């Protein structure tokens, strides 16, 4: 996580992060104690959002290693392998683009498991009734959600079964 915290798109750093994530994934397979598995899941919850943010809302040029997110994609692609001048030496082959393998490792760390055991639940009727006094805004929100749903910026009434009315 520390490798990517600054939002960089440095190829070498991303490869190191990808390797660290792969190593952590392999190590996690050896955790068998139920209490330790629960702690690991808490950390995964925390880090999923971090890794999601590393990929979300990034322009395509970012993944080519472009410093300027507004550079056209073809220009970013060309620049990712353009010769560079370093200490009076011209390097004819440079690779700035992020490796797909390192991007995959970060993407995988951002995913929710398919077999996620959902432990969250909804308010019971009795719990909702208690909300009215201390949390009236939350109570009104839940009542509204029972009556309406939204789609494409519009509010639609539900019928008695909770479905949209035609």
Together in a domain, 37 and 105: yes
Together in a domain, 82 and 142: no
Together in a domain, 26 and 84: yes
Give me the residue label for tokens 């509010």.
155
Q: Taking the CA atoms of 109, 18, 53 and 100 in sequence, report the sign of the dihedral they define.
A: negative
- Consecutive 10-residue runs of the chain (166 residues): their mean pLDDT? 92 95 94 93 89 92 91 90 74 79 94 69 88 88 90 86 53
82 contacts 89 by C-beta, under 8 angstroms: no
- In a domain, residue 114? The reply is no
Task: Let me know the angle formed at the C-alpha of 145 by 141 and 147, rounded to the nearest 5 degrees.
Answer: 120
User: What's the pLDDT at 118?
Assistant: 63
Domain that holds residue 34: 11-109
User: What's the pLDDT at 92?
Assistant: 60
Together in a domain, 57 and 92: yes
């Amino acid at each position: 996580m520390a490798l990517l915290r600054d939002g960089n798109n440095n190829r070498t750093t991303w490869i190191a992060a990808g390797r660290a994530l792969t190593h952590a994934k392999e190590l996690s397979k050896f955790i068998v104690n139920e209490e330790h598995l629960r702690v690991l899941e808490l950390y995964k919850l925390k880090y999923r959002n971090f890794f999601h943010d590393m990929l979300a809302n990034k322009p395509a040029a970012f993944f080519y290693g472009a410093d300027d997110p507004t550079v056209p994609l073809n220009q970013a692609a060309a620049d990712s392998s353009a010769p560079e001048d370093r200490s009076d030496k011209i390097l004819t082959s440079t690779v700035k683009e992020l490796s797909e393998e390192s991007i995959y490792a970060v993407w995988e760390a951002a995913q929710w498991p398919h077999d996620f055991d959902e432990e969250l639940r909804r308010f019971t009727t009795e719990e909702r009734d208690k909300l009215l006094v201390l949390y009236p805004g939350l109570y009104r929100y839940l009542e509204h959600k029972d009556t309406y749903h939204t789609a494409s910026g519009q509010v639609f009434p539900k019928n008695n079964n909770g479905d949209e009315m035609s």
